[in-house]
Structure 1
Amino acid sequence: MKSAVETLNPTRVRLTVEVPFEELKDSLDAAYKKINQQVTVKGFRKGKIPARVIDQRFGRGAVLEEAVNDALPKFYTEAVNEAEVNVLGQPEVDITELKDGELLAFTAEVDVRPAIEIPDYSGIEVEVDAIEVTDEDVEKSVEQLRERFASTSKVERAAAEGDVVTLDLTAKVDGEVLPDGVADGVSYTIGSGELLDGIDAAVTGLEAGGEATFTSQLKGGSAAGKDAEVTVKVTEVAARELPELDDEFAQMASEFDTLDELKADSRKRLENMKQFDQATQAQERVLEKFLELAEIPVPEKLLEDEVNTRKHNLEHHQLGQMGLSLEKYLELQGKTVEEFEAETKEQAVKGIKTQFLLDELVSKEKLNVEQDELTEHLFRRAASSGMSPDQFAQAVVQGGQVPMLVGEVARGKALAVVVEAAKVVDTNGEVVDLSDDEDEVEAAAETVEAVTGEAEVAEEK
C-alpha cells in the first residue's frame, strides 16, 4: 500500500491511498462467503456456491463493492498511522479508482488536531477577590442555622411577614384551570420568595379562610412562562418562633458547647468556602489568559458538532426537565435566537480550544494520571450524577468512557501547572498561594469541565 498526506489547512488533511489488488484478497474471500450465506442457487447447497457462479448470477461488481467496504477502514487506519496525524471524527472517503485485478485508489479528507505551540505562561498575572469574612457574614450564617430550628404555633390573626401559612392554590390561563394548576395544603413562609411573584402581597393580611386572586408569571409546569390568574386560600396561619441565641442553642444545633465556639466554626467554614471560590476564580482567569496567548485554529466540522451537542443537551435535557421549550427559555432570558447562537458558538470555541491547549500541555509535560486521582474524580462525578460510585464506575466502563475521565483529570493537572506558574494577587494586593491546596487538581478539573462542557473532542482512527 502507498499513501501520501496533503495538508489542506491547519485543521484538515487529505490522504491519498493506493492499494495493490492482491491486498484485497482477504476482503474478497469474506465478500464471497457473506454472499454465499445470503443467497440460494438451484443445484448448489447453501454456502457452497462457487465464486464464478456468484459472479455470473449477481455480478462481480456486487462482490467488489462488498470487499471494498470491508477493506477501507483497515487501509484508512494504516494510512493515518503512516502519516502520523491525529484525526478527529469520521473521514469523507472518495474512491477514485477501482481496477479489478489491478488497483484500488481512494482519498480521505478528515479533520486533524492542529499543531499547537505552547506559549510561555510564566508571566501570567491575574487578580482575584480577597478572602474577607465579616462579623455580618457570621451573624447571617448563624441566623440561617437558627431559622432551621424555628418552631411554629397556630395563631388566630391576620398573616404577616415571617408567618408560615397553609394554602390552597388554583392557577388559570385564559380562564381555564391548568391540568397541573391545583395544589392543596401548600406550606409557605411569607417573605421567602420561594413560590410565586405576587403571593406575599396577596396573602399578607388574610386570616384563615381568607382568599385573594393575583396575576403571576408561572416559573414551571405545563404553562411555564405564561401569565396566570392565581386564586389562593389561606387555611391556616402559624407564627414562627426562633430559639434564643445562647449556649443552649449552640448545644442543640451543633457539637459545640458555647455560642462563641459555634460562631468561630461558622467563620472558619465561610473562610474555607471563600477560599474555594477564590481558587476557582484564579483558575478561570488564568485559563482565560493562557488561551489568549495561544494560536489555536478550530476545525469547522468539529465546531459545528460541538455547537449542536450543546444545543441538544440544553433543549432536551436541562430545559426538558424544567418543562421549558427553547423559545420560552430565550424569552425568559431576554435573548434573541441570534444572540443565543452566537453565545453558544463562543462557548463551543472556547471549550475546543481549552481541550486542544491543555491536551498539548499534558503531552509536553508528560503528565500522568495516578489511580488515586482517577478514583477521587470518579467519586466526585458519581456524586454530581446522583449515582453511587459503583453504579457510576460500571456505567463508565460499559460506555467506554474511562479515557474521557482520564482526560478530564489530565487537563486538570495541566491547568494546575499553569496556575502554579502564574502570579495571583487579591484585590488587597496580597499574593495568593494556591500550591498548598490538596484538592487543586480536582478543582482545576472541575473548572475545565465547566468550560469544555459534556462533549469530548473525539479522536478516531
Structure 2
Amino acid sequence: MKSAVETLNPTRVRLTVEVPFEELKDSLDAAYKKINQQVTVKGFRKGKVPARVIDQRFGRGAVLEEAVNDALPKFYTDAVNNAELNPLGQPEVDITELKDGETLNFTAEVDVRPTIEIPDYSGIEVEVDAVEVTDEDVEKAVEQLRERFASTTPVERAAEDGDVVTIDLQAKVDGEVLEDGIANGVSYTIGSGELLDGIDDAVKGLEAGGEATFTSELKGGSAAGKEAEVTVKVTQVAKRELPELDDEFAQLASEFDTLEELKADSRKRLENMKRYDQATQAQERVLDKLLELVEVPVPEKLLEDEINTRKHNLEHHQLAQMGLTLDKYLELQGKTAEEFDTETREAAIKGIKTQFVLDELVNKEKLNVNQEELTEHLMRRAASSGMSPDQFAQAVVQNNQVPLLVGEVARGKALAVVVEAATVKDTNGEIVDLEDEEEGEEAAETAEASAEDQGADKGEGEEKAEA
C-alpha cells in the first residue's frame, strides 16, 4: 500500500491511498463467506456456494463492494499511522479507482489536530481577589445559620412579611384548571420570593381561611411561561421566631460551646471558601493568558459539531428539565438569538483551544496520570453527577470513557504546571502562594469547566478516531 498526505489547511489533510489488489484477498474471502451465509442457490448446500456461482448469480460488483467496505477502515488506519496524523472525527472517503484484479485507489479528507508551539509561559502574571473576611461577613454567615434554626408558632391574625403561611394553590389557564396546577399544604415564607410573582401581595393581610386570586406567569410545569389565574387559600399563619444569639445557640447549632468559638469557626470557613474562589480565579485567568500566547487554528467541522452539541444539550437536556424553551430562556436572560449564537460560538472555540493547548502541554511536559489521581478524579466526577462512585465507575467502563477521564486529569496537571510558573498577585499586591494539592485539584476542575462540554462528546470521537 502506498499513501501520500496533502495539507489542505492547518487543520485538514487529504490522504491519497493506492492499494494493490492482492491486499484485498482477505476481505474478498470474507465477502464471499458472508454472502454465502445470506443466499440460497438450488443445488448447493447453504454456505457451500462456489465463488464463480456467486459472481454469476449476484454479480462480481456486489462482492467487490462488500470487500472494499470491509477493507477501507484498515487501509485508512494504516495510512493515518504511516503519516503519524492525529485525526479528529470521521473521514470523508472517496473511491477514485477500483479495477478488478488490479488496484484500489481512494482519498480520505479528515480534520487533524493542528501543530501547536507552546511558547515560554513563565512570564504570565495575573491578579486575583484578595482573601478578606470582614466582621459583617461573619455576622451574615451566623445570621444565615440562625435562620435555619428558626421556629414557627401559629398565630390568629393577618399574615405579615416574614410569616410562614400554609397555603393551597390552584392555577387556571384560559379558564381551565391545569392537571398539575393544584397544590395543597404548601409552606411558604412571605417575602422569600420562592414561589410565584405576585403571591406575596396576595397573601399579606389574609388570615387563616382567607382566599385571594392573582395573575402570574408560571415558572414550570405543563404551562411554563404562560399567564395563569392563581387562587391561593391560606390555611394557617405562623410567626417565625429566631433563637437568641448566645452560647446556648452555639451549642444548639454547632459543636462549639460558645458563640465566640462559633464565630471564629465561621470566619475560618469563609476564609477557606474565599481561598477556594481565589484559586479557581487564578486558574481561569492563567488559562486565559496562556490561550492568548498560543496560536491555535480550530477545525471548522469540529467547531460546527461542537456548537450544535452545546445547543442540543442546553435545549433538550438542561432547559427541558426546567420546563423552559430556548426562546423563553433567552427572554429570561435578556439575550437575543444572535447574542446567544455569538456567545455559544466563542465558548466552543475556547473549549476546543483549551483542550488542544493543554494536551500539547501534557506531551511537552511528559505528564502521566497514576491510579490514585484517576480514582480521586473519578470520585469528584461521581459526586458532581449525583451517582455513587461505583455506579459512575461502571458507567465509565461500559462506555469506554476511561481514556477521557485520564485526559481530564492530565490536562488539569498541565494547567497546574503553568500556574506554578506564573506570578499570581492579589488586589493588595501580595504574592499568592497556591498550595500544590489545592492547585492540582483546582486546575483539573478549571480545565474541565473550559473544555468538558465539548470534551466529552468530541473527545470520545477523537479517541475512536485515534485508536
Task: Normalising by structure 1, report the TM-score.
Answer: 0.98
8 Å Cα contact 1:249-1:259 kept in structure 2? yes
8 Å Cα contact 2:172-2:229 kept in structure 1? yes
**Matched residue, 2:384:** 384
Equivalent AA in structure 2 for residue 454 of structure 1: D
1:28-177 matched pairs, under 5 angstroms: 28-177=28-177
Question: For the residues of structure 1 that align with 2:10 and 2:150, how far apart are their CA atoms?
Answer: 64
**Matched residue, 1:452:** 451
1:221-257 residue CA offsets vs partner (Å, 9 max, x unmatched): 1222222222211110011111111111111111111
Equivalent AA in structure 2 for residue 371 of structure 1: Q
**Matched residue, 2:183:** 183
Answer yes or no: is 1:244 the counterpart of 2:262.
Answer: no
Equivalent AA in structure 2 for residue 381 of structure 1: R
Comparing 164-173 with 376-385, which one deviates more in the overlay? 164-173
Shift of 1:172: 2.2
8 Å Cα contact 2:88-2:111 kept in structure 1? yes
1:354-433 matched pairs, under 5 angstroms: 354-433=354-433
**Matched residue, 1:279:** 279
Question: For the residues of structure 2 that align with 1:312 and 1:329, how far apart are their CA atoms?
Answer: 14
Question: For the residues of structure 2 that align with 1:222 and 1:332, how far apart are their CA atoms?
Answer: 18
Question: For the residues of structure 1 that align with 2:187 and 2:87, how far apart are their CA atoms?
Answer: 58
1:344-355 matched pairs, under 5 angstroms: 344-355=344-355
Q: Matched residue of 1:162: which SS?
A: coil
Q: Matched residue of 1:348: which SS?
A: helix
Answer yes or no: is 1:335 the counterpart of 2:335.
Answer: yes
**Matched residue, 2:442:** 443
Comparing 239-248 with 76-85, which one deviates more in the overlay? 239-248
Question: For the residues of structure 2 that align with 1:292 and 1:174, how far apart are their CA atoms?
Answer: 55
8 Å Cα contact 1:409-1:441 kept in structure 2? no
Q: Matched residue of 2:108: which SS?
A: strand
**Matched residue, 1:2:** 2
Question: For the residues of structure 2 that align with 1:146 and 1:300, how far apart are their CA atoms?
Answer: 54
**Matched residue, 2:319:** 319
**Matched residue, 1:200:** 200
For these two proteins, the number of residue pairs brought into alignment is 460
Question: For the residues of structure 2 that align with 1:2 and 1:156, how far apart are their CA atoms?
Answer: 92
Question: For the residues of structure 2 that align with 1:335 and 1:179, how far apart are their CA atoms?
Answer: 32
Q: Matched residue of 1:212: which SS?
A: strand
Shift of 1:295: 0.4
1:161-218 residue CA offsets vs partner (Å, 9 max, x unmatched): 1111001112222333222211111101112111122222221221111122222222
Shift of 1:437: 4.4
8 Å Cα contact 1:225-1:332 kept in structure 2? no
Shift of 1:140: 1.0
Shift of 1:40: 1.0
Q: Matched residue of 1:228: which SS?
A: strand
Question: For the residues of structure 1 that align with 2:190 and 2:107, how far apart are their CA atoms?
Answer: 70
Question: For the residues of structure 1 that align with 2:221 and 2:36, how far apart are their CA atoms?
Answer: 58
1:285-307 residue CA offsets vs partner (Å, 9 max, x unmatched): 11111111110000011111111
Equivalent AA in structure 2 for residue 442 of structure 1: E
Question: For the residues of structure 1 that align with 2:188 and 2:441, how far apart are their CA atoms?
Answer: 39
Equivalent AA in structure 2 for residue 117 of structure 1: E
Equivalent AA in structure 2 for residue 111 of structure 1: D
Q: CA RMSD in A?
A: 1.1
Question: For the residues of structure 2 that align with 1:62 and 1:207, how far apart are their CA atoms?
Answer: 83
Shift of 1:160: 1.2
Shift of 1:47: 0.8
Q: Matched residue of 1:295: which SS?
A: coil
Question: For the residues of structure 1 that align with 2:221 and 2:95, how far apart are their CA atoms?
Answer: 53
| Structure 1: gaps spanning 5 or more residues | none
Comparing 416-425 with 324-333, which one deviates more in the overlay? 324-333
Question: For the residues of structure 2 that align with 1:331 and 1:242, how far apart are their CA atoms?
Answer: 39
Question: For the residues of structure 2 that align with 1:187 and 1:374, how far apart are their CA atoms?
Answer: 44
Comparing 332-341 with 17-26, which one deviates more in the overlay? 332-341
Q: Matched residue of 1:28: which SS?
A: helix
Question: For the residues of structure 2 that align with 1:321 and 1:45, how far apart are their CA atoms?
Answer: 57
Question: For the residues of structure 2 that align with 1:198 and 1:273, how far apart are their CA atoms?
Answer: 35
| Structure 2: gaps spanning 5 or more residues | none
Equivalent AA in structure 1 for residue 380 of structure 2: R
1:30-74 residue CA offsets vs partner (Å, 9 max, x unmatched): 011011111111111111111111111111111111111100000
Comparing 148-157 with 350-359, which one deviates more in the overlay? 148-157
